[in-house]
C-alpha cells in the first residue's frame, strides 16, 4: 500500500521522472540529503530500475578526517490528498462437453492517500562541491568494494519530500462475482440440450485497510549519480542524463540475459528453459519450497530481500547482515528457510533468482492471488500461458482440464486481470485482450507461474517447454 501510494504520487506530481518513490517505509530514515543510494544494475530487460538506500553518506566514503556537513534548505512543497480508483467488469462464457458456465465479475478498488502538507529538503550542491574538492573516495571501503565488483552505480541524495504531520493511506476493495453453471442432457440424436441451471452463486468481498504514516516520513527523493575513477577521484553527475558508475572493466553478470532474446517483447523460450533446474529439486524439497514462497508472496519486503540475497549468492557474495537486521525474526526465519532449501548449487540458485526477480515485478494483486493458489492451478495456468506464446486466441477445447472448473477459471481470469488482461470468449475461441498491457507483463506473469509450477510438478511440468 505504501509503495503503491508513493508511486502514484510521483507519477502525478513529477511526470518527467526526476523523483523516485520510496517503496519501503523502513527506508525513510536513511533518506536524508547527502545519503548514499545504490542504483542496482538490471539483469533482465523486464526489470525496473531498483534503488537501495544504504546506511552511509558521502562523507563516510571519502578519505580524510574532516566530516562533510551538507547545507540543507527547507521549503513548502504542496498539499496532497488523492483518491485513485479502479472499476473492473468482466464476463466470460465457456462450454466444455455438456457443461457450460458463465462468470461475471464486478469490482471497485480505491486508494486514498492523505499525505497532507508536504515539505522538501534540498542540499546546496555548490557548497558540497566546494567542501569536497580534492577529496578522494576510499576505494577500500566495504561498500565501494561490493559495488565495484558488480559494476553498479552509487548515487547521492539531493532532495527529499516528506510529511509534516501524521497521515494515512487507505485502501478499500469491493468485489462481486456471479457464477452460473448449466448442465446439458444428450438427446437420442446425440445433440446437447440445456435444461436447467445447476448453480448460481454470488460472492461479495469487502476489505478496508488503513496504514498510519508518522510525521517526517520521506515519500520521494531525487539523486545525483557519482562517477568514480580507479584512483579514487570522483565527479558528481550534474547534467540531466549523465550516467555514473565505476571506471573499471564491466563485470559481466553470471546471467546470459544482457541481450534478452525477445521478439516484440515476447520471450522465445530461453528464460523458461533457465527455470528448468527447479523441476529437478527432490519432491519433498520442492513442496517445502513452494509453501515458503507462498508465504513470502504476500510480504513484499521479504520478497525484495530474498531477491537481493539470491542475487548476491549468484555473484558469489555474502549476505549483508545490516540489511537482514531490518527484517523481523519471522521474516528472517522464512528467508533463511528458503535459502537452506535451495542449497549452494549454482543451477537451482540461478533459476530461483530468475523466478523471484519475475515475481517481484508483479502487482500486489497478482501476488495475493498466487499466494492463495494450489500447485495444480499453477500447472494448468502455465499450460494455458504456453498457448499464448503462439497466439492470444486459442480454442476453448485446448483449455487445460483443471481450468474448465468454475473456481479455477475465475481465478485465472482474475490473475490475468491483475496485469490488465481480459479473458473473453469469441464463439468457441478464448481471447486474451491486452489493452495497454505490454507483452513484457505477460512474460513476467508467465515466468512467475511457470516457475512455481516447476517447483511442485517436477519433470512433468518441465516437459511443458
Contact 221, 22 (CB under 8 A): yes
Q: Look at residue 388 in the predicted model and tell me its pLDDT.
A: 82
Q: Look at residue 94 in the predicted model and tell me its pLDDT.
A: 44
If you average pLDDT over residues 339-345, what whole number do you get?
A: 93
Which of 42-46, 108-112, 135-139, 176-180 is predicted most confidently?
A: 135-139
The pLDDT tens digits for 210-241 are: 889 999 999 999 999 999 999 999 999 988 77
| CA–CA gap between residue 453 and residue 287 (Å, rounded) | 11
Q: Look at residue 26 in the predicted model and tell me its pLDDT.
A: 85
Q: How confident is the model at residue 355 (pLDDT cuts 50, 70, 90)?
A: very high
Please name the helix (run of DSSP H) or strand (run of DSSP E) that holds residue 110, with its range, or none.
Answer: strand 99-123
| CA–CA gap between residue 44 and residue 262 (Å, rounded) | 11
Half-sphere exposure of residue 408: CA atoms within 13 angstroms, side-chain side: 17
The pLDDT tens digits for 413-451 are: 999 999 989 888 777 888 888 877 778 888 999 999 999
Q: Look at residue 414 in the predicted model and tell me its pLDDT.
A: 92
| CA–CA gap between residue 79 and residue 114 (Å, rounded) | 9
- First-to-final CA distance of the chain: 36
C-alpha cell read off for 189: 440424436
Integer CA distances (angstroms), 348 to 248, 285, 286, 331, 356, in order: 30, 12, 11, 22, 12
Q: Look at residue 328 in the predicted model and tell me its pLDDT.
A: 78
How far is C-alpha 201 from the chain's CA centre? Answer: 33
**3-state SS class at 156:** strand
Q: How confident is the model at residue 118 (pLDDT cuts 50, 70, 90)?
A: very high
Q: What is the pTM of this model?
A: 0.70
Please name the helix (run of DSSP H) or strand (run of DSSP E) that holds residue 424, with its range, or none.
Answer: strand 422-426
Q: Look at residue 198 in the predicted model and tell me its pLDDT.
A: 41
Boundaries of every domain in the chain: 2-246, 262-462
pLDDT at 40 over 60: yes
Which of 91-105, 155-169, 264-278, 296-310 is predicted most confidently?
A: 155-169
Average pLDDT of the chain to the nearest whole number: 80
If you average pLDDT over residues 370-392, what whole number do you get?
A: 90
pLDDT at 106 over 70: no
If you average pLDDT over residues 99-116, what whole number do you get?
A: 65
Q: Look at residue 206 in the predicted model and tell me its pLDDT.
A: 59
Q: Look at residue 273 in the predicted model and tell me its pLDDT.
A: 84
pLDDT at 184 over 50: no
C-alpha cell read off for 61: 566514503
**3-state SS class at 161:** strand
Please name the helix (run of DSSP H) or strand (run of DSSP E) that holds residue 414, with its range, or none.
Answer: helix 406-417
Angle between helices 439-457 and 283-297 (to 10 degrees): 140
Report the percentage of the chain scoring pLDDT > 90.
Answer: 45
pLDDT at 257 over 80: no
Contact 373, 411 (CB under 8 A): yes
Q: Look at residue 217 in the predicted model and tell me its pLDDT.
A: 95
Residues 6+ apart with CB under 8 A from 188: none
Q: Look at residue 253 in the predicted model and tell me its pLDDT.
A: 39
Q: Look at residue 321 in the predicted model and tell me its pLDDT.
A: 53
| CA–CA gap between residue 278 and residue 395 (Å, rounded) | 30
Q: Look at residue 376 in the predicted model and tell me its pLDDT.
A: 93
pLDDT at 74 over 70: yes
Q: Look at residue 389 in the predicted model and tell me its pLDDT.
A: 78
If you average pLDDT over residues 164-170, what whole number do you get?
A: 90
The pLDDT tens digits for 86-105 are: 554 444 444 444 444 454 55
Q: How confident is the model at residue 269 (pLDDT cuts 50, 70, 90)?
A: low
Amino acid at each position: 500500500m505504501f509503495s503503491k501510494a508513493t508511486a502514484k504520487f510521483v507519477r502525478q506530481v513529477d511526470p518527467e521522472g526526476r523523483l523516485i518513490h520510496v517503496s519501503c517505509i523502513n527506508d525513510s530514515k536513511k533518506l536524508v540529503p547527502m545519503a548514499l543510494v545504490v542504483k542496482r544494475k538490471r539483469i533482465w530487460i523486464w526489470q525496473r530500475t531498483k534503488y537501495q538506500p544504504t546506511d552511509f553518506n558521502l562523507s563516510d566514503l571519502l578519505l580524510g578526517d574532516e566530516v562533510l556537513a551538507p547545507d540543507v534548505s527547507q521549503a513548502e512543497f504542496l498539499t496532497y490528498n488523492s483518491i485513485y480508483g479502479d472499476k473492473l467488469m468482466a464476463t466470460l462464457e465457456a462450454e466444455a462437453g455438456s457443461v457450460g458456465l458463465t462468470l461475471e465479475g464486478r469490482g471497485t478498488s480505491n486508494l486514498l492517500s492523505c499525505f497532507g502538507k508536504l515539505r522538501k529538503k534540498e542540499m546546496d550542491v555548490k557548497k558540497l562541491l566546494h567542501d569536497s574538492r580534492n577529496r578522494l573516495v576510499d576505494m577500500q571501503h566495504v561498500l565501494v568494494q561490493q559495488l565495484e565488483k558488480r559494476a553498479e552505480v552509487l548515487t547521492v541524495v539531493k532532495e527529499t519530500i516528506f510529511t509534516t504531520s501524521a497521515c494515512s493511506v487507505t485502501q478499500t476493495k469491493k468485489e462481486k462475482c456471479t457464477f452460473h453453471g448449466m448442465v446439458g442432457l444428450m438427446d437420442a440424436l446425440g445433440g446437447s440440450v440445456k435444461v436447467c441451471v445447476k448453480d448460481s452463486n454470488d460472492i461479495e468481498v469487502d476489505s478496508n485497510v488503513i496504514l498510519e504514516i508518522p510525521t517526517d516520513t520521506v515519500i520521494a527523493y531525487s539523486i545525483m549519480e557519482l562517477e568514480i575513477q580507479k584512483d579514487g577521484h570522483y565527479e558528481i553527475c550534474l547534467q540531466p542524463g549523465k550516467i555514473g558508475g565505476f571506471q573499471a572493466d564491466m563485470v559481466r553478470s553470471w546471467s546470459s540475459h544482457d541481450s534478452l532474446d525477445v521478439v516484440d517483447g515476447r520471450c522465445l523460450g530461453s528464460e523458461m528453459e533457465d527455470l528448468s533446474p527447479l523441476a529437478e529439486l527432490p519432491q519433498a524439497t520442492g513442496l517445502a519450497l513452494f509453501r515458503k514462497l507462498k508465504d513470502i508472496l504476500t510480504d513484499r519486503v521479504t520478497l525484495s530481500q530474498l531477491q537481493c540475497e539470491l542475487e548476491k549468492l549468484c555473484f558469489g557474495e555474502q549476505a549483508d547482515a545490516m540489511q537482514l537486521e531490518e527484517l523481523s525474526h519471522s521474516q528472517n526465519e522464512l528467508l533463511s528457510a528458503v535459502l537452506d532449501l535451495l542449497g549452494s548449487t549454482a543451477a537451482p540458485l540461478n533459476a530461483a533468482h530468475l523466478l523471484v526477480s519475475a515475481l517481484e515485478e508483479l502487482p500486489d494483486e497478482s501476488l495475493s492471488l498466487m499466494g492463495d493458489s494450489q500447485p495444480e492451478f499453477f500447472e494448468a495456468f502455465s499450460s494455458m500461458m504456453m498457448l499464448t506464446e503462439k497466439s492470444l486466441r486459442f480454442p476453448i477445447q485446448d483449455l487445460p482440464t483443471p481450468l474448465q472448473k468454475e473456481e479455477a477459471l475465475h481465478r485465472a481470469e482474475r490473475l490475468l486481470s491483475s496485469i490488465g488482461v481480459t479473458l473473453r470468449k469469441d464463439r468457441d475461441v478464448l481471447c486474451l485482450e491486452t489493452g495497454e498491457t505490454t507483452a513484457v507483463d505477460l512474460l513476467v506473469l508467465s515466468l512467475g507461474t511457470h516457475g512455481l509450477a516447476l517447483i511442485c510438478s517436477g519433470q512433468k511440468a518441465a516437459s511443458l517447454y
